[in-house]
Amino acid sequence: MARVRFSGVTKRYEGRTVVHPFDLEVDDGEFIVFLGPSRSGKSTILRMVAGLEPLDGGRIEFDGKDMSLVEPRHRDVGMFFQNYALYPNKTGRQNIAASLMRRGADSSAVRARVDEVADLLGVSHLLDRHPKTYSGGEQQRVAIGRVIARRASVFAFDEPLSNLDALVRLRLRTEFKRISRELGITTLYVTPDQVEALALADRVVVLDEGRIVQVGTPQELYERPANAFVASFVGATPMNTLTGTLKGDHLLTEDGATIAVYGVTAMMSADAQGMAMVGIRPESVSLEEGGPNKVHLVESLGRQTLVHLKVGEKDFRVLAPATTSVREGDNVALRCDAKALHHFSYDGSQRVN
């Protein structure tokens, strides 16, 4: 295990900054997820940790030792790429053992270690077969086994579940969490999937255009997003954001729509009564018949129903009970508790407490 420290780490390509200077400390055994949209810099950070990309500024330390100029093979990082890159001519056992054999490990120790890892991942039945006979999920498990067999100081996983179907992803997400707890190895994990990030992470690092915009536990990101970007990016169904004014017991949007808000006087400070951006999660809104907002799509999600409607000129989502009687074309009113509102600056760049 290793404590990883990033100090002023920067990366540029052809004069363009793709990772802006940032500082971050990762504790021994901590599971950190880098979350962000495409081209936010998350995979680049992982490659810098592994030594596959040089830094253009700052330093990366493992347990206080500067690793910035250390060659990849001497960093003791177990790196997992999106492309599993299994050796097609080798069996599962030979694939998992490959990194150990390259390091000259004793053959009996290698065999014991491969058996241990295969049992942990549930792939013992695949050890004598070749990758072409595996399903996608089986290939992924064997590829993970090749990484964790090394017992590296740091694991670096770059979107390891992205190529799998939904059911396999869900099952292996659970496996990742179990394995990380059992091994206790510092893990850096990259994903664009916020549900995956919240389910796995001890802490989540949210990136946008190469900048860290918030670091926190999944609960902290959900309950207190730092700005409108985090608010709309984190959550199974994205948060709704509206620009308007809180007056009395209503939120009046810029284009004239209204949402009834109870508890405003008790919950909102005086400066929150001016024009601002307000975030409302879909699960925090209730629907009432006969309002000014027209429903244009209703999606059944099993135990809940996702209702899409227009609030003024903006699309708005509400998670309603499965038993809701609302249908496409209905007109509804919206109501929420002020405790459920998230208040941001007018441009959405920062949270207002």
Domain ranges of the chain: 4-227, 240-344
Q: Which helix (H) or strand (E) holds 181?
A: helix 166-183
Query: Does 4-227 match 240-344 in CATH topology?
Result: no
pLDDT at 270: 38
CATH 3.90.1200.10 fits 4-227, yes or no: no
Q: How far apart are CA 265 and CA 285, in angstroms?
A: 19
Per-residue pLDDT tens digits of the chain, which is 353 residues long: 789 999 999 999 988 999 999 999 999 999 999 999 999 999 999 999 999 999 999 999 999 999 999 999 899 898 888 777 889 999 999 999 988 888 778 888 899 999 988 988 889 999 999 999 998 888 888 988 888 888 788 999 998 887 677 777 787 788 778 878 888 889 999 999 998 999 999 999 999 999 999 999 999 999 999 999 999 898 888 899 988 887 777 788 888 888 887 765 434 443 445 678 889 999 999 998 888 889 999 999 999 999 999 888 889 999 999 999 999 999 999 988 888 888 888 889 999 87
pLDDT at 321: 92
Distances (CA, A) of 6 to 231, 257, 270, 325: 25, 46, 40, 52
Q: How far apart are CA 33 and CA 37, in angstroms?
A: 13
What superfamily does domain 240-344 belong to in CATH?
Nucleic acid-binding proteins (2.40.50.140)
Token pair for 147: 């990484």
pLDDT at 271: 45
Annotate 284-314 with b (16+ C-beta within 10 A) or e (fewer): bbebeeebebebeebeeeeebbebebebbee
pLDDT at 198: 93
Exposed/middle/buried for residue 190 (C-beta within 10 Å: 0-12, 13-18, 19+): buried
Identity of the amino acid at 187: T
pLDDT at 309: 93
pTM for the model = 0.86
Token pair for 20: 């802006």
Q: How far apart are CA 8 and CA 60, in angstroms?
A: 9
Token pair for 172: 């292996």
pLDDT at 269: 44
Helix axes 107-121, 166-183, angle to 10 degrees: 130
